[in-house]
Each structure stands twice: as structure tokens, then as C-alpha cells.
């Protein structure tokens, strides 16, 4: 089932810190299935539970392993994801967000990360990620902490997207 995606910089549900999942339940698995469908349907690279109105630390990543985006991908759920190691090096890259349609701007993120999470069976896993895949996780974990990528932008850049952000805030 495709779920409605919450939008806006002023939407409370997108500004709250999501809660850790204590035990992966059937409800979580149903949510994950629906979130995957919702993300694929919206052509997103990631989706965090708060974006569909759920305050649990769950995200879906659409990892890219091809030369071009969409060429070779793996869709995966990460529960209670946590960056436990990262490179000193940061890289700029353009980001967008399903909760802020039509807004795109460069953001600085760690180039490499090591993320720890629970998989859908509740088993602890680790993944080493770099470049775009590391960026996806950093963007989505921000959602779990109530942060949006536009929070990193300076006023001049935000000003260019006044109309788009106003529309996103008409939730
Ligand atoms: Zn987003």
C-alpha cells in the first residue's frame, strides 16, 4: 500500500525525534513493506518512518550500486540505524527530499560511514557505505532526529525556494 508522504519544514511529525524500536513486530514489518512501496512509487532514494507519520526509528534505503542511478539498486530496511564510524572527509552533493518537493541543493556529508542497524528479522547488521549511499543514510537518519536537509542551507539558497517551501508547508 502506498502511504501519503508528509511534507513541509514546519510539519510537527517531521520535526520530532523518532523512538527506538525495542522489538521488531508484525506491525513494523507491515509498515516496512508499505514504506518500500511508497518510496519506489515516488522514485525516492530513501524514506524515513516520520515521512509517513510514524515516529519509529525505521528507514528504507534505495542503495545504488550501478554507474548510473537506477541501474543497479538494493532496497533495504534499516531499524535503529546508527553511524558508529565516519571518515573525516566530507563531500558536497545535491540532495532532494520527498517531503520537500522541487527543492534541490548541495549539502556536505561524510564521504564514508559505518552504520549499525537491525534488519527485518531483528538481527544486528553493519554496513560500510560511501558517497551516494552514505549520503542517503545521513539524510534519512536526520529525518529520525527531526532534521531536514534544508536546515543546512544558508538563507540565500532557501530564499530561492520560497515558493516550493510555502507549498510544502500547506499540509
Ligand atoms: Zn528526506
- Summarize pLDDT for 77-115 with one digit per residue, the tens: 999 999 999 999 999 999 999 999 999 999 999 999 999
50-76 mean pLDDT: 96
Residues taking part in catalysis: 140
- Sequence-distant (6+) residues with CB within 8 A of 37 are 1, 2, 3
CATH class of 12-168: alpha beta
48-65 mean pLDDT: 98
User: Does the structure show a pLDDT above 80 at 66?
Assistant: yes
- DSSP characters over 36-67: HHHHHHTT-SEEEGGGGT--BSEEEEEEE-SS
Q: How far is the CA of 44 from the centre of ligand 1 (A)?
A: 9
For the chain, give the mean pLDDT.
97
- For residue 86, the tally of other CB atoms under 10 A from its CB is 17
List, in sequence order, the alpha helices (H) in the chain.
26-41, 131-144, 155-160, 162-168
Q: How far is the CA of 97 from the centre of ligand 1 (A)?
A: 4
pLDDT at residue number 167: 95
45-70 mean pLDDT: 96
17-26 mean pLDDT: 98
User: Does the structure show a pLDDT above 90 at 171?
Assistant: no
Amino acid at each position: 500500500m502506498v502511504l501519503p508522504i508528509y511534507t513541509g519544514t514546519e510539519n510537527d511529525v517531521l520535526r520530532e525525534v523518532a523512538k527506538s524500536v525495542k522489538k521488531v513486530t508484525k506491525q513494523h514489518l507491515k509498515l516496512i513493506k508499505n514504506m518500500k512501496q511508497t518510496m519506489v512509487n515516488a522514485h525516492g532514494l530513501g524514506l524515513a518512518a516520520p515521512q509517513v507519520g510514524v515516529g519509529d526509528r525505521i528507514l528504507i534505503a534505495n542503495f545504488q550500486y550501478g554507474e548510473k542511478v537506477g541501474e543497479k539498486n538494493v532496497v533495504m530496511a534499516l531499524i535503529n540505524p546508527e553511524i558508529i564510524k565516519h571518515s573525516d572527509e566530507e563531500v558536497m552533493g545535491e540532495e532532494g527530499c520527498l517531503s520537500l518537493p522541487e527543492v534541490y541543493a548541495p549539502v556536505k556529508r561524510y564521504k564514508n560511514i559505518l552504520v549499525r542497524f537491525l534488519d527485518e528479522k531483528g538481527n544486528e547488521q553493519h554496513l560500510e557505505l560511501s558517497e551516494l549511499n552514505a549520503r542517503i543514510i545521513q539524510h534519512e537518519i536526520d529525518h529520525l532526529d527531526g532534521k531536514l536537509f534544508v536546515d543546512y542551507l544558508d538563507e540565500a539558497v532557501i530564499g530561492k525556494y520560497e515558493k516550493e517551501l510555502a507549498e510544502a508547508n500547506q499540509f
